[in-house]
Amino acid sequence: MAEIPAWYLLVVILAFLLPFAVGAHVSSKSAGYAAVKWNTPVMWQTIGVFFPVFCTAVIVAFGSPPSQPFSRQLIVDVALRAAPFVAGGFALSIAAGNAQTYLHIRSATAVTPADTAAVDPGSPVHVRGRVVPIDTALSPALSRDAVCWSWRYYIRGVNGQGENPRWLSKKGGSGGVPFELCDDHGCVEIAPAGAQMELTDRAEQIVDATATQPGRVGRNIPASRAGDEYKFVESIAEPGATLTVIGKLTADGSVEAQYIISAVRRSLQSEYKNRALSYLVAGLFGSILGLWLLSIGYGTF
């Protein structure tokens, strides 16, 4: 191993890790949205990025010492070589998250709403039926009648965007109120809080920032995020819609939903399986390519 000062090793590792640590802290408020977007726990995503970054720092520090430490050329060279490795690690974390979802959905017992009483509490179940509301509610972004929803809003025209402003994604979320899922033989109560939503009844609306906002999301946008226009994107399940719910049966006979979707279970299984395999292949390719590039440039130990 090449002899290098301890301070050099420390500074190199910190220089690689600090930007990612700051980024994780800044994005912590939208961590819930990141988990939904990639269907992977934020902790897994963080590990998927931090581990390759840490390995890159160690390879550079302990490998062939650069002739000009901390030069712009070194930073650019390492960044280009490490980019596939970091992207590959992130893709592998997404593959793991989607594989977990696929296995969870596959293990759920398919039951009708009327048959849930025959299943042991705590068991994963898969129920499909028609939505019957217990309480009425308005969706937060566009004020539509709904029992559950997912939403996100965007801003355009903030200071410094220039003549051709683009939409900036700001905040999103999901939620709902308890409802019943029914078929011709019975009903079961569904608790949607915390569930991942994949709903097909999608709508969007662009509103001037000075106009009356369509829902409580727009009315609560802080002045610090003000722009010229807002775009609200929302997907809902309204009364009468047909849904598939996958979750855990509780002791009182209701289902604590983990996934609420408009598709049937078989198509959802295929979707998550294909996602997991695609990200796995991409992740392995990126990781191997990045490690190979780093070993060429800094791999003398």
Both 113 and 230 in one domain: the answer is: yes
Q: How many CB atoms lie within 10 A of CB 135?
A: 8
Both 225 and 90 in one domain: the answer is: no
Neighbouring residues of 85: CB distance < 8 A, sequence distance ≥ 6: 52, 55, 56, 286, 287, 289, 290, 291, 293, 294
Distance CA 163, CA 14 (A): 38
Q: What are phi and psi of 129, to 5 degrees?
A: -175, -170
Name the token pair of 9: 């090793």
Parent domain of 232: 108-264
Both 67 and 114 in one domain: the answer is: no
Both 205 and 228 in one domain: the answer is: yes
Cβ(256)–Cβ(116) below 8 Å: no
Domain count, the chain: 2
Both 174 and 218 in one domain: the answer is: yes
Q: What is the pTM of this model?
A: 0.71
C-alpha dihedral (32, 35, 39, 42), degrees to nearest 10: -150
Cβ(127)–Cβ(249) below 8 Å: no
pLDDT at residue 123 in the model = 87
Cβ(175)–Cβ(148) below 8 Å: yes
Distance CA 186, CA 121 (A): 18
pLDDT at residue 22 in the model = 52
Per-residue pLDDT of the chain (301 residues), as tens digits, is 455 554 455 556 656 665 655 555 445 444 455 555 667 777 888 889 888 988 888 887 777 666 666 667 777 888 889 999 999 999 999 999 999 888 888 888 888 888 887 888 888 898 999 999 998 799 999 999 999 999 999 998 877 666 778 888 888 888 999 999 998 889 999 999 988 888 989 999 999 988 889 999 988 887 666 678 899 999 999 999 999 999 999 988 899 998 898 877 667 788 889 999 999 999 999 999 999 998 888 775 4
Both 123 and 224 in one domain: the answer is: yes
Both 255 and 285 in one domain: the answer is: no
Both 232 and 144 in one domain: the answer is: yes
pLDDT at residue 257 in the model = 93
Instruction: Tell me whether residue 269 is in a domain.
Output: no
Both 112 and 256 in one domain: the answer is: yes
pLDDT at residue 187 in the model = 92
Instruction: Tell me whether residue 98 is in a domain.
Output: yes
Instruction: Tell me whether residue 168 is in a domain.
Output: yes
Both 134 and 203 in one domain: the answer is: yes
CATH number at 184 reads 2.40.50.140
Both 131 and 219 in one domain: the answer is: yes
Instruction: Tell me whether residue 15 is in a domain.
Output: yes
Instruction: Tell me whether residue 1 is in a domain.
Output: no
Instruction: Tell me whether residue 141 is in a domain.
Output: yes
Both 150 and 28 in one domain: the answer is: no
Instruction: Tell me whether residue 257 is in a domain.
Output: yes
pLDDT at residue 7 in the model = 47
Instruction: Tell me whether residue 22 is in a domain.
Output: yes
